[in-house]
Each structure stands twice: as structure tokens, then as C-alpha cells.
A and B are shown apart, each in its own frame.
Chain A
Amino acid sequence: MSRRTLAVVSAGLSQPSSTRLLADQLAAATRDELVRRGESVKLRPVELREHAHDVVNHLLTGFPSAALREVLDTVTGADGLIAVTPIFNASYNGLFKSFFDLVDSAALVDRPVLIGATGGTARHSLALEHALRPMFAYLHAVVTPTAVFAAPEDWSGGVADGALRARITRAGAELADQVHRRSPSTGPADPFALTTTFEEMLGRQDS
């Protein structure tokens, strides 16, 4: 049995937030499936709202505060990532994009990711496919085939028995499967690690 970490990022702005509610349900479904497969799971929720000022400050100054550094390390060092945003103007909200703009472009390579979104109408649902999925594809993450969108009617229709519940369970199982088949994460990349010798950088053979 290995110990797995799931980072659960929610870009919801209101409190309580339906985006956070969806994120928590996706996290629980993934955890349950991993536990069923004999893994132990630690969930690491990240409410981007709490870091909104730090995110903007990092964009402007070029470096993260200590608190934001920890959050970025949590996200880039996890075994799996659940990323959920409200849909604004047909795409992820600005906070969600600004946060992921601060993630190094190599930090999520081959990382299993489950994407989710909430919106005021089901007509926003394809934003998952035309906005979130391409962004994570650019980052070379492995996005599960099922992405989960929750519209107001999904919540009012009785979550436990509705179609939303089925999609959450399926998506969680897909993410768990991707996490399960990989070796445990070794944590965030070390920004101070050198990958070549200085002689190689100089273009010389050992002399």
C-alpha cells in the first residue's frame, strides 16, 4: 500500500461555493476508488480565493509569497490533481487561469488530472472541453476522459441518485486508475537541481 496525495483546487468565489462542493465530491469519489484498490489517500484542498491577492502579486512581482509557494508545491507535488472552476464568459474564471499561469510549464507533465466546472446554465458545459482540457493538454498533463460539469438543475435534481452522481463516480474512478498505475510522486521538482555538468554546458568533453 502506498500513500497518495490528491490536490483539490477550487476557483469558486462565493462561500459556500457549489464549485467547492463539486470539487469535494470528485475528491471523495477518487479517494474511495483508490482506497478500494488498497491505497491510502491524503486530500489537500486548495481554495484559490484565499490566495487571490498572492496570485496577483506573484504575477506582478515574479515571485510567490511563502504561503503561495506552499500551495504551488502542493499542486505540483501531488499524485493527482482535481481542478474545478466556475465558468465565466464561456471559460474558466480569471482566478483559475491566473493560478495555473504560475505553474511551471513542465511541472504537470504526465500528471493525472480530473477537470470539473460549475455554471449558471448547462449551456456552459462544453467550456470544459474547449478551455480547460486544452490548457492541461498544453501542460502535458493526462486529463481523464470524463470531465464533470454541474448545472443548477444537477444540484436540485437530488445529487445522490441523479446523473451527476454517476458522472462523479465514473470520473473519480478514471482519475484513481491513472494515479494507481503510476509510481508515487516524489514531490515538486527542485528548482535548484542541475541536470548537466558544467563541462557539458561548455560543450567540452571531459578533458
Chain B
Amino acid sequence: MQFGVFTVGDVTVDPTTGREPTEHERIKAMATIALKAEEVGLDVFATGEHHNPPFVPSSPTTMLGWIAARTERLLLSTSTTLITTNDPVKIAEDYAMLQHLADGRVDLMMGRGNTGPVYPWFGQDIRNGIPLAIENYDLLRRLWREEVVNWQGRFRTPLQSFTSTPRPLDGVPPFVWHGSIRSPEIAEQAAYYGDGFFANHIFWLKEHTQRMVGLYRQRFEHYGHGSADQAVVGLGGQVFMRKNSQDAVREFRPYFDNAPVYGHGPSLEEFTAQTPLTVGSPQQVIDRTLGFRDYVGDYQRQLFLVDHAGLPLKTVLEQLDILGEEVVPVLRKEFDSLRPAHVPEAPTHASLRAAASGDLVDAEAGR
């Protein structure tokens, strides 16, 4: 099982000091968090993509390329890549280039983006969100899999004899997850292609996540990619830990109460009861996270949100230390011992390459 962190990349005032980091500080902090993730033994760093303040990560492959050069094992991913407003041709090129530079340590999570005004800045309309996600992603897949693409669609200028360069590393496109909070169409899309499905998880009741993941698993089986319990599932999570759980609650509360997304709404207690947010001791985080398996089944990737709402970098790095030292080793062991043998790990470049050459051997043997 893979464990990691995902970041939104928000620039938010620290409510306890009133200080807002500069964009430069925030960008460097994100990079530092990524390096720390590898140092403490996490598997994945995923960055959001945004094109409006107060967010900084508008250029994910620039950031991930920098991180790739300074890491050895860390898998670089996105949370999410905007499949609606980005040109699929540019996504194909940028992430293939990143894949080469990172020696295959790359996958992506597709998302639509929920900010209406962003769409027209890129010539699109939020009301076409789902059709854009579907058409653009289908083209992206072809660009990575077919040497020469002739294509015509509804949203993008047609392509005649187009070859996306560089070609994916070893001819193996990056693995793709599809992220969604509430759209069954996206679970269907992930199932149709046999791609991964990532449930945001942190902004809805667990019953909702259970239904979405259940739908994806059922449709994954329907499309013949394997049994429902072999579908590739990722979950978001949100934690704040201190040795003593009362200290964690006391320290995190002002960040929670003023957080841009849910601040001034439900109490910390209500939100922790309703969503996966866990504020407490490392053991509480371990117990809660293991419990996710009870309603989504055995899953392949767990990403935690740890660096938002104005939390200072020093605090975030302490959280990563706790995750790496006390939480993830236990979760890794427990989840691995619970998972049946026929349930696969999340695909990686190495496993996809091996599968592709196996297919080739099978095909040659059959001839």
C-alpha cells in the first residue's frame, strides 16, 4: 500500500500569528514538504493545480521536476490535474517529459476544478465540466498510446498526423487516477478504462464515499478489468497529531475554526465525527485510518492533507515526522496483513512495464 501527502497549495494567514506567507515562502515550503516526505519514508507527494489566488501551484510539472531531481524513491503525483481547462496535448507532453526525468516515478490524478471563473480564462465553460473531462481524457490516452493521432472532437481544434513527444517512458503511459467528490460519471469513467479512482473523502460523510467507491468497484468489474475488490482505490485523509490528543485538539482548533473551506461552520468535534478528519494521538490516527477499510474495502493509496489552513512549515514537518516514524509503518504492516493475495498493489511504472512486456511475450507466443 502507498502512503503519502497531498497539498492544495493555498496561501493562508496563520490565524495564531496573523502572518501570511509570501508566495515564494509557500512554494519553497511545498518543495521542502515533498523532500521531507521521502526522508521520512512516505511513498507519494501530490500537488494540486490552481490558476487563481490564494493558490500557488499553477505549474505542477515545474515543481514536480524540481522535486524529482532531488529525490530517489518518491512517487510524484497530482491532486488534481485539470483535465477540463488544460489542453490534453500539453498534459501528454508535460507529464511524459516529467516521466523521463523522474525515471518513471510519476502518476496523475485527473480532476475537473470547481471554480467557475477559471474555465473562461482558458476558453471553457464550467457547465461543460463532465463532457470536457470525458473528451479530453480520451484524447490524452490516445496521445500516449498511439504514435500518430488523427482526432476530431467537440472542444479542441482537430489533430492531423500529430505525434506527442516525448513518447511515454518505455512506451508505458503514467498510471492515472480519477478524482471526484460527488460525480458518479467520474467513477464510471475510471471504471471504464480500468484506471484508479481517488475519493477525496475529506469533504463528505463516509456513507457518501462508500457509495462512490462501491459504484466504481462494481463498474470496474462490469467492464472486465477484474473483480470489484481488485479495483484500484485511493482515499484522502486529514490529520493533526500530537503525542497527547488534548494538545493536538488545542493546537489545531484555531486553524480548523478559520480554515478557508470549512471554517466558521461546524465545530471541530462535529467535523471529526462526520468526516475522516482526525485530530489526536498517532494511535488515534492509526485506528481511524484502518477503519476506512471497513467501508471502502482493501485499497491501494492513502494520501493525507497536512499543510493547509495556514499551518506553519515547522509544524507540518513535525507532522510528517510523526507520520513517518509512528503512523505509516504500523498502517503499512496492518493493511498488508489484512489484504488478500488477489488484491493488487497500485500500479507503478515498473509493474506496468512488466505487464506490458508480459503481454508482448504472450502475443508472440501465441503467434
A residues lining the B interface (CB < 8 Å): 53, 56-57, 59-66, 69, 191-194, 198, 201-203
In whole angstroms, what is the CA distance A53 to B267 when docked? 10
Q: How many residues of B contact A (CB 8 A)?
A: 30
Query: From residue B197, how far is it (CB to closest CB) to chain A in Å?
Result: 13
CB nearest to B134 among chain A residues: A201
Known A66-B205, A194-B184; judge A56-B265 contact (CB<8 A).
Answer: yes
Contact of B294 with A by CB under 8 A: no
Check B138 against A202 for contact (C-beta < 8 Å).
yes
In whole angstroms, what is the CA distance A53 to B184 when docked? 29
Could you pull out 6 A-B pairs where Cβ atoms are within 8 angstroms? A61-B203, A65-B266, A65-B270, A66-B207, A198-B189, A201-B188
Check B211 against A192 for contact (C-beta < 8 Å).
yes
Check B205 against A63 for contact (C-beta < 8 Å).
yes
Known A61-B261, A61-B262, A61-B266; judge A202-B208 contact (CB<8 A).
Answer: no
Check A61 against B265 for contact (C-beta < 8 Å).
yes
In whole angstroms, what is the CA distance A53 to B203 when docked? 17
Check B274 against A65 for contact (C-beta < 8 Å).
yes
Query: From residue B243, how far is it (CB to closest CB) to chain A in Å?
Result: 29
CB nearest to A69 among chain B residues: B205
Known A65-B270, A66-B274; judge A201-B131 contact (CB<8 A).
Answer: yes
Check B185 against A201 for contact (C-beta < 8 Å).
yes
Check A192 against B184 for contact (C-beta < 8 Å).
yes
Residues of A within 8 Å of B131, CB to CB, are: 201
With beta carbons under 8 angstroms apart, the residue of A53, A65, A201, A203 that contacts B130 is A201
In whole angstroms, what is the CA distance A194 to B219 when docked? 11
With beta carbons under 8 angstroms apart, the residue of A57, A59, A64, A191 that contacts B184 is A191
Query: From residue A194, how far is it (CB to closest CB) to chain B in Å?
Result: 6
Interface digits, B192-213 against A, CB 8 Å rule (1 contact, 0 not)? 1000000000011101100110
Residues of A within 8 Å of B212, CB to CB, are: 192
In whole angstroms, what is the CA distance A61 to B265 when docked? 7
CB nearest to A56 among chain B residues: B265
CB nearest to B223 among chain A residues: A198
In whole angstroms, what is the CA distance A62 to B212 when docked? 17
CB nearest to B271 among chain A residues: A61
In whole angstroms, what is the CA distance A62 to B205 when docked? 11
Check A63 against B207 for contact (C-beta < 8 Å).
no
Check A203 against B207 for contact (C-beta < 8 Å).
no
Given A64-B205, A203-B135, 15 other A-B residues pairs in contact with their CB atoms under 8 A: A56-B265, A57-B266, A60-B264, A61-B203, A61-B271, A66-B207, A191-B184, A192-B184, A192-B211, A192-B212, A192-B215, A193-B184, A194-B188, A201-B130, A202-B138
Query: From residue A75, how far is it (CB to closest CB) to chain B in Å?
Result: 18
Q: Which of A53, A61, A64, A191 has the most CB of B within 10 A?
A: A61
With beta carbons under 8 angstroms apart, the residue of B185, B263, B264 that contacts A194 is B185
In whole angstroms, what is the CA distance A182 to B266 when docked? 39
Residues of B within 8 Å of A69, CB to CB, are: 205
Residues of A within 8 Å of B263, CB to CB, are: 60
CB nearest to A58 among chain B residues: B265
